[in-house]
């Protein structure tokens, strides 16, 4: 039997090439479709010939000011024409004679020449630990650094002889010359400093506020926090693909469900699934895709359709156990690449993952059999990259814990769509909602505890085309509310967490034809943000991170010829873990203002 591999590879190659060279049959599309651009023909660079540092604005990790107990360079590689190749690997061993409690993954990358943005990921033993994307280089070169707290993967980081895999599919040819250089280093920190024989960092206590519990001391629930980085799992099982094409599952359509069978130890008393996802090809700008009827009736060549509702759905034995409406990360070539230099879009260098508490389902999982996890994307089109890690906490005192679901109602969901259009102008509204409530008890050696999980997702999106489709407005709002409570059998709440997230997005863009029929001017205004209110016991934190950009560019096909853009970003965290705020103003690739404040303003 001939191997199916060559066909698969060709297929990947074809999709990738068409995404990269993007030979759309409508180079000046009225109506306007959001797209991915390269700056390969942009020659705006001013005087300086030094490589420029690109960055994502986030709160510095508390570890940044500490001296690591040890540092482990783990990977150094170049990603040239890596399309269709398996990930690059190295072998991981934990550092010796190095006590540590927390770990950071540091990615350092550089590139010069011309290149599109690329998606990349890092896996340890098949478990994803970072999903990231690249900056688009210039002739002078760009470089960037990403530091991620990976303490939640401590279980893996304490194992020996693991494969660390890095996937970054890139295309290098006469036109696209940018090769991506990537180095990865693990940094280990000991914030407890128990071992007097080893010099350890002098930890300012304020950096690590004590974990606050609402637990009376007589109840000793085995973990002190529901936050994965604060109380990491004892075991992590990847729910991912085999690795030759990366460990992610590639989801091509709404009916494409990717499955994996898993069995878990019988003494598991807590389970959380962490889902990573990113969207590409015809779904890279899913939040701005009109319905197929609009595309078909107007005879448009684009395949960027199927409306705007997308929900990554996780099933256990074919029952929905959770879902995520992803934060719409915009890669550095997206919408207008001039917006994203040197400050990249929210999440571009460290894409968010989504955690779903599965403890109420342990009553089903702890029967000694294998269970099927499935991933799909509601209304999705080609293509999505999805995988997950199952974080498990096990009771060392017993071989088996008892568990029963109490309330498992199939999550209610409803999606409404309202479309009106005449020729190229029209309005498309989509509204969706899902809510779920699950609970179940687990009786372990620490006692009998019931976990309650309630989740609510709300989604609203409106696309308007005006001016014969030359003006497009996209407005989207997503709201997520997630509550987890753990209660003893005497009804004492031992732990609780509440997470509220909002991520609105609005994009207005208009197209003006240029001197020849394949040149046009695109003027865009974009605003998006993430607001996150988290309470973990008595510890409350609020994050507000918003970006506003506007600008114009003259483009030919998918190349930016010239243009101008500015970005205004405001990032602020306040609450139990202290305050941090930063505002940055960028105009035409130069940082005009960058102000950081680490003091809490009195008005809260
Ligand atoms: C990666 O590490 C090598 C060897 O230390 C160094 O020469 C190179 O400059 C590094 N590249 C980046 C992008 O950090
Ligand atoms: C490391 O693991 C590989 C297979 O995953 C195995 O072949 C090899 O012997 C192991 N090396 C050591 C030193 O244990
Ligand atoms: C890296 O490891 C993965 C998983 O074991 C494997 O599929 C892939 O072929 C390896 N890559 C290389 C270049 O050998
Ligand atoms: C609860 O679990 C503990 C520890 O495994 C066990 O001793 C106890 O009998 C269990 N309780 C019940 C009611 O089964
Ligand atoms: C506290 O934990 C210990 C060991 O984990 C267990 O033996 C003890 O019964 C627990 N106490 C309560 C009140 O559950
Ligand atoms: C654990 O607690 C729940 C709720 O209080 C109760 O229904 C269940 O019977 C208890 N399980 C055990 C083994 O005691
Ligand atoms: C580009 O050059 C102009 C004129 O020399 C100067 O005003 C501007 O600040 C420069 N911009 C950058 C990004 O260096």
Q: Could you please report the per-residue DSSP string of 283-318?
A: GTTGGGPPPHHHHHHTT------S-S--EEEEEETT
Q: What is the pLDDT of residue 604?
A: 43
Q: What CA–CA distance (Å, rounded) separates 115 from 138?
A: 8
Whether 406 lines ligand 6, by a CB cut-off of 6 Å, is no
Specify the residue for token string 């088996």.
400
Atom 1 of ligand 7, residue of closest alpha carbon: 46
The CATH code belonging to domain 19-62+208-597 is 2.60.120.230
Specify the residue for token string 């075991």.
235
Lining ligand 7 with CB less than 6 A are 46, 589-590
Query: What are the φ/ψ torsions at residue 492 (nearest 5 degrees)?
Result: -90, 130
Q: What CA–CA distance (Å, rounded) separates 321 from 356?
A: 8
Confidence of residue 43 (pLDDT cuts 50, 70, 90): low
Atom 4 of ligand 1, residue of closest alpha carbon: 76
pLDDT above 70: percentage of residues in the chain:
88
Q: What is the pLDDT of residue 602?
A: 55
Q: What CA–CA distance (Å, rounded) separates 137 from 51?
A: 9
588: region left, alpha or beta (phi > 0 left; psi from -120 to 50 alpha): left
Q: Check pLDDT > 90 for residue 533.
A: yes
Q: What CA–CA distance (Å, rounded) separates 254 from 488?
A: 41
Q: Any idea which ligand is nearest the CA of 489?
A: 6
Q: What is the pLDDT of residue 575?
A: 87
Ligand 5 centroid vs 404 CA: distance in angstroms? Answer: 21
Q: Which numbered atom of ligand 5 lies nearest the CA of 447?
A: 14
Q: Which two tokens stand for residue 561?
A: 């010829």
Ligand 5 centroid vs 226 CA: distance in angstroms? Answer: 19
Q: Any idea which ligand is nearest the CA of 107?
A: 1
Q: Which two tokens stand for residue 254?
A: 């709404």
Question: What are the b/e assignments for 488-506, b being 16+ CB within 10 Å?
Answer: beeeeebbbbbbbbbbbbb
Ligand 5 centroid vs 538 CA: distance in angstroms? Answer: 24
Q: Which two tokens stand for residue 278?
A: 């990113």
| Digit-coded pLDDT (tens) for 293-314 | 999 999 999 999 999 999 999 9
Atom 2 of ligand 6, residue of closest alpha carbon: 489
Atom 14 of ligand 1, residue of closest alpha carbon: 108
Q: Mean pLDDT across the stretch 570-592? A: 93
Q: Which numbered atom of ligand 5 lies nearest the CA of 219?
A: 13
Mutate to test the pocket of ligand 7, among 42, 46, 593 (most ligand atoms within 8 A of CB): 46
Q: Select the more confidently predicted residue: 32 or 388.
A: 388
Atom 2 of ligand 7, residue of closest alpha carbon: 46
Per DSSP, the three-state class of 56 is: coil
Q: Which numbered atom of ligand 5 lies nearest the CA of 397?
A: 5
Measured in whole angstroms, the distance separating CA 108 from the mean position of its chain's CA atoms is 18
Q: Check pLDDT > 70 for residue 23.
A: no
CA-based nearest residue to 306, from 321, 317, 296, 314: 296
Ligand 6 centroid vs 449 CA: distance in angstroms? Answer: 8
Instruction: Please name the helix (run of DSSP H) or strand (run of DSSP E) that holds residue 15, with its range, or none.
Output: helix 5-21
Q: What is the DSSP letter of 64?
A: G
Measured in whole angstroms, the distance separating CA 194 from the mean position of its chain's CA atoms is 35
Q: What CA–CA distance (Å, rounded) separates 439 from 364?
A: 12
Atom 10 of ligand 1, residue of closest alpha carbon: 183
Q: Check pLDDT > 80 for residue 579.
A: yes
Q: Which two tokens stand for residue 365?
A: 């999982």
Whether 76 lines ligand 1, by a CB cut-off of 6 Å, is yes
Whether 294 lines ligand 6, by a CB cut-off of 6 Å, is no
Specify the residue for token string 């873990």.
577
Q: What CA–CA distance (Å, rounded) separates 271 from 263?
A: 12
Q: Which two tokens stand for residue 2?
A: 């001939």
Ligand 2 centroid vs 93 CA: distance in angstroms? Answer: 11
Q: Mean pLDDT across the stretch 465-475? A: 96
Whether 447 lines ligand 5, by a CB cut-off of 6 Å, is yes
Q: Check pLDDT > 90 for residue 131.
A: yes
Per DSSP, the three-state class of 481 is: strand
Ligand 2 centroid vs 160 CA: distance in angstroms? Answer: 9
Q: Select the more confidently predicted residue: 81 or 536.
A: 81
Whether 443 lines ligand 6, by a CB cut-off of 6 Å, is yes
CA-based nearest residue to 486, from 219, 191, 167: 219
| Digit-coded pLDDT (tens) for 246-290 | 999 999 999 999 999 999 999 999 999 999 999 999 999 999 999
Atom 3 of ligand 5, residue of closest alpha carbon: 446
Q: What is the pLDDT of residue 45?
A: 54
Q: Check pLDDT > 50 for residue 210.
A: no
Ligand 6 centroid vs 363 CA: distance in angstroms? Answer: 12
Q: What CA–CA distance (Å, rounded) separates 513 from 503?
A: 33
Q: Check pLDDT > 60 for residue 368.
A: yes
Q: Which numbered atom of ligand 1 lies nearest the CA of 108?
A: 14
Mutate to test the pocket of ligand 1, among 180, 181, 182 (most ligand atoms within 8 A of CB): 181
Q: What is the pLDDT of residue 66?
A: 87
Q: What CA–CA distance (Å, rounded) separates 290 from 510?
A: 16
Q: Which two tokens stand for residue 604?
A: 């809260």
Are 487 and 452 in contact by the 8 Å Cβ rule? The answer is yes
Atom 4 of ligand 4, residue of closest alpha carbon: 445
Q: Any idea which ligand is nearest the CA of 138?
A: 7
Write the burial class of residue 96 (CB in 10 Å: 0-12 exposed, 13-18 middle, 19+ buried).
exposed
| Digit-coded pLDDT (tens) for 49-99 | 789 999 999 999 988 888 999 999 999 999 999 999 999 999 999 999 999
Ligand 3 centroid vs 246 CA: distance in angstroms? Answer: 8
């Amino acid at each position: 039997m001939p191997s199916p591999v060559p066909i698969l590879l060709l297929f990947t190659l074809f999709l990738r090439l068409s995404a990269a060279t993007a030979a759309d049959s409508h180079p000046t599309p009225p109506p306007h479709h959001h797209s991915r651009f390269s700056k390969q023909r942009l020659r705006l660079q001013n005087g300086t010939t030094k490589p420029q540092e690109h960055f994502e604005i986030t709160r510095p990790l508390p570890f940044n000011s500490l001296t690591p107990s040890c540092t482990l360079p783990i990977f150094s590689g170049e990603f040239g024409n890596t399309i269709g190749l398996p990930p690059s690997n190295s072998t991981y061993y934990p550092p010796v004679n190095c006590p540590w409690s927390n770990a950071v993954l540091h990615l350092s990358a550089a590139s010069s020449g011309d290149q599109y943005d690329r998606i990349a990921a890092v896996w340890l033993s098949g478990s994803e630990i970072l999903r990231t994307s690249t900056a688009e280089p210039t002739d002078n070169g760009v470089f960037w650094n990403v530091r991620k707290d990976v303490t939640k993967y401590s279980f893996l980081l304490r194992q020996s002889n693991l494969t660390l895999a890095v996937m970054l599919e890139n295309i290098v040819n006469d036109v696209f010359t940018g090769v991506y250089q990537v180095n990865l280093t693990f940094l280990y920190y000991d914030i407890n400093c128990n071992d007097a024989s080893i010099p350890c960092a002098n930890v300012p206590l304020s950096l690590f506020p004590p974990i606050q519990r609402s637990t009376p001391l007589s109840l000793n629930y085995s973990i002190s926090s529901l936050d994965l980085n604060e109380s990491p799992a004892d075991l992590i099982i990847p729910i991912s693909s085999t690795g030759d094409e990366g460990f992610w599952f590639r989801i091509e359509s709404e009916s494409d469900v990717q499955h994996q069978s898993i069995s878990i130890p019988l003494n598991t008393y807590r389970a959380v699934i962490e889902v990573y996802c990113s969207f590409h090809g015809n779904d890279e700008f899913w939040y701005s895709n009109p319905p197929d009827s609009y595309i078909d009736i107007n005879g448009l060549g684009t395949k960027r359709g199927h409306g705007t509702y997308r929900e990554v759905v996780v099933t256990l034995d074919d029952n929905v156990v959770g879902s995520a409406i992803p934060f719409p990360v915009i890669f550095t070539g997206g919408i207008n690449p001039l917006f994203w230099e040197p400050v990249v879009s929210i999440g571009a260098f460290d894409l968010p993952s989504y955690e779903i508490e599965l403890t109420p389902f342990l009553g089903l999982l702890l029967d000694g059999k294998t269970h099927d996890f499935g991933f799909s994307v509601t209304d999705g089109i080609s293509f999505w990259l999805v995988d997950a890690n199952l974080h498990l906490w096990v009771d060392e005192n017993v071989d088996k814990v008892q568990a029963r679901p109490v309330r498992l109602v199939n999550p209610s969901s409803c999606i409404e769509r309202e479309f009106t259009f005449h020729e190229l102008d029209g309005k498309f509204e989509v509204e969706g909602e899902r809510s779920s409530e699950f609970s179940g008890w687990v009786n372990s050696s620490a006692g009998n505890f019931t976990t309650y999980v309630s989740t609510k997702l709300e989604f609203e999106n409106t696309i308007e085309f005006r001016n014969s489709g030359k003006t497009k407005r996209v407005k989207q709002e997503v709201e997520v509310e997630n509550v987890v409570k753990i209660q003893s059998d005497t009804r004492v709440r031992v732990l609780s967490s509440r997470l509220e997230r909002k991520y609105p997005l609005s994009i207005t863009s208009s197209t003006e034809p240029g001197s020849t029929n394949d040149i046009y001017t695109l003027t865009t205004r974009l605003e998006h943000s993430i607001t996150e209110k988290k309470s973990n016991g008595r510890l409350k934190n609020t994050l507000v991170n918003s970006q506003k950009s506007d600008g114009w560019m003259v483009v030919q096909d998918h190349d930016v010829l010239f243009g101008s853009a500015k970005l205004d970003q405001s990032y602020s965290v306040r609450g139990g873990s202290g305050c941090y705020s930063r505002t940055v103003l960028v105009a035409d690739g130069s940082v005009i203002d960058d102000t950081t404040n680490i003091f809490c303003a009195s008005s809260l």
